[in-house]
Amino acid sequence: MAGRTPRPASSAAAPAPDPAANGSPGRTGAASGLGRTGGTDSLAADRARARRSRRYRRDLRWSPYAFIAPFFLFFAAFGLFPLLYTGWAALHRVELTAPTDMEWAGLRNFTRLLGDDFFWNALGNTFVIGVISTVPQLLMALGMAHLLNYRLRGSTFFRVALLTPYATSVAAATLVFVLIFGRDYGLVNWLLSTIGVDGVDWENGSWSAKLAVSTIVIWRWTGYNALIYLAAMQAIPHDLYESAALDGASRWQQFRYVTVPSLRPTILFTCVVSTIGAMQLFGEPLLFSGSAGATGGADHQYQTLGLYLYEQGWVNLHLGRASAIAWTMFLILLVVAAVNALIARRLRRGD
Amino acid sequence: MTARRAGRQLHGGKVTYAVLILFTAGSLFPLLWTAVAASRNNTRLAQTPPPFWFGGNLLKNLGTAWTDANMGTALLNTTVVATTVAAGTVVFSTVAGFAFAKLRFRAKRLLLLLVIGTMMVPPQLGVVPLFMTIAELEWTDHLQAVILPTLVSAFGVFFMRQYLLRALPTELIEAARTDGANSWRVVWHVVFPAARPAMAVLGLLTFVQAWNDFFWPIIALTQNGSPTVQVALTGLGRGFIPDQSVIMAGALLGTLPLLIAFVLFGKQIVGGIMQGAVKG
């Protein structure tokens, strides 16, 4: 009974005395409990101390793993396992209607993809939309961050306001932009008409649709990236600017030769994040068409890989093929990551 | 002091303000215009020039969107999902971040690298087996199907680690241990109080993300089951003649809670994003 007495910490409310001070009159719960049962005081205390220190060591040793376990368990169950299983499913013929009936297909899903015009179309669209949304977005974010880095009245207001689009969901944002880019009564076309330009059929054009979809992405993410750049800018030591100013560098030159080089790691980071984001682009093209849904426009002109995956899996019910698309996306991302690591190393050596 | 700070940082000029105001307007306009369109009717939206000021149909459209898209249930579902995901992420990230920041254990560096590495893997890539799994468990249309897969986040772990490295003095942990506290007590009585500001920020960021999540919910939930707001919204435009003003009212309903959160906690959210970014 006494052996099961609470751990030293059980005297939680009042701070427990130092375990090292065990022999002293102010005893820990365990030791005093044993003392009362009348055993050989020092022997029992020794045993209790040994037990405690064993427990203490066990705690030190294993609790870190217990603390990180939830992350790894959930990641294994809902991140890693699905990813690997996707690779397995990609080698099979699986239909959504009977997901447990898997029929070995080897690489057929992949070879079919290579000969599939819609796949190449989606890959191209993803690339184009990725570039025309990421490049202006990051450039504007850089400029915004530079301006926000000045001492400003109401700087908090500007930061929060620029971040508001981030709080808007893909669905809500896309639905508004569909209206804004409407062919007949849309705001953009009305604005164009006031300067004498003919209305554009945004949704049905190839480039115009991509441009419109990119606009949604740019609108939602520019402020977010600006804040990331701003954070990095504020970490640049100010002496750099002072010595640049002493050397007679103009503000633009300071930006070009001090700010941008210091931000290189952050810029690289945002490029990677944006690439991953662009690769997954889904909600915007899905909802941009009122009715066409997963095809990404009448001519598939803005169907992205993410949308094509969805169409193959959940419209055409070919889960095996959808898996093959997912794995292709994964491989492309690995290539992107490798290129990124290479650039990062080159940059570091350059410094 | 002021002089030194003024010397350190240049004041923005008129051009700075002008450009910033322009961009702020661009950021806010689509949201404002959502409200304008939601307060008009379909006929008015199908005219040029488009309306630039509020009409009188807001309440009526909100009501229609509310009933047509089952917005009440959807909002409730989304609240449950976002709250649970935020709470789970915060707790799990804090304990894991604490272990990575302050505890010693074998393979720590490797495991931390693994956590960071998982940030590179978009969850979307595992969507097929994930769907097969929840179909097998008969979880389709149940909220746990969207909650469980997002309950932990690598970003969260990393974010809390960075915060606790600085904000939690190691002496404090040692003092607690000397007082006889085991690791769980240390977490409860030392780590959680020290991490509270970062936990709040991470909670807000996660909440926003979970609220807006789209890809997975639209696969796992249907409009007829228990949709989240984002899923419900996609159902609004499905009529023969979609009523744009009602769609906008729905979009407004789905966005409003987060906008209110932004008005209340905007500063903290901004700070959190900037904090999380530095180490990127």
Q: What's the confidence (pLDDT) of residue B276?
A: 67
Residue among B212, B215, B211 at smallest CA distance from B126: B215
Q: Which residues contact A33 (CB under 8 A, 6 or more apart)?
A: A2, A5
Which tokens belong to B51? 């309306």
Task: Name which of A150, A171, A179 is nearest B244 (Cβ-Cβ).
Answer: A179
Q: What would the mean pLDDT of B2-7 be, rounded to a whole number?
A: 37
> Does this complex have an ipTM over 0.85?
yes
* SS3 label, residue A161: helix
Residue among A54, A57, A25 at smallest CA distance from A41: A25
Task: Name which of A70, A82, A269 is nearest B280 (Cβ-Cβ).
Answer: A269
| pTM: predicted TM-score of the whole model, two decimal places | 0.84
Is position B3 within any domain? no
Cα separation, B159 vs B280, in Å, equals 10
Is position B1 within any domain? no
Q: What would the mean pLDDT of B226-247 be, rounded to a whole number?
A: 80
Q: Which residues contact B253 (CB under 8 A, 6 or more apart)?
A: B62, B65, B66, B71, B75, B229
Each residue's pLDDT tens digit, B118-142: 877 777 788 888 888 888 888 888 8
Question: Do residues B23 and A144 make contact, with C-beta atoms less than 8 angstroms apart?
Answer: yes
Residues of A in contact with B255 (CB under 8 A): 167-169, 172
pLDDT band at A30 (very low <50, low <70, confident <90, very high): very low
Q: How high does pLDDT run on average in chain A? A: 82
Residue among B233, B30, B69 at smallest CA distance from A173: B30
CATH number of domain containing B61: 1.10.3720.10
Phi, psi of A214, deg, nearest 5? -60, -35
* SS3 label, residue A1: coil
Q: Hey, how many other C-beta atoms are within 10 angstroms of the C-beta on B242? A: 16
Q: What would the mean pLDDT of A252-258 be, rounded to a whole number?
A: 86
Among A32-36, A90-94, B195-199, the range with the most confident prediction by mean pLDDT is B195-199
> Is the pLDDT confidence value at A2 over 70?
no
CATH class of A121-302: mainly alpha
Each residue's pLDDT tens digit, A210-249: 999 999 999 999 999 999 999 999 888 888 888 888 888 8
- Lowest-pLDDT choice from A90-99, B6-15, B182-191: B6-15
Q: Does B42 touch chain A (CB under 8 A)?
A: no
Task: Name which of B28, B185, B277 is nearest A232 (Cβ-Cβ).
Answer: B277
- B 122-141 residues with CB < 8 A to A: 122-133, 135-136
* Contact at CB, B212 and A287, closer than 8 angstroms: no
Among A337-346, B21-30, B219-228, the range with the most confident prediction by mean pLDDT is B21-30
* Residue listed under structure tokens 């203490």: A56
Number of domains, chain B: 1
* Residue listed under structure tokens 């400003």: A152
Q: Which residues contact A182 (CB under 8 A, 6 or more apart)?
A: A189, A202
Q: What's the confidence (pLDDT) of residue A221?
A: 93
Q: What is the DSSP string of B205-256?
A: HHHHHHHH--HHHHHH--SSSS--HHHHHHHHTTSSS--HHHHHHHHHHHHH
**How long a stretch of residues is chain B?**
280
Is position B226 within any domain? yes
Amino acid at site B160: M
pLDDT band at A39 (very low <50, low <70, confident <90, very high): low
> Is the pLDDT confidence value at B1 over 70?
no
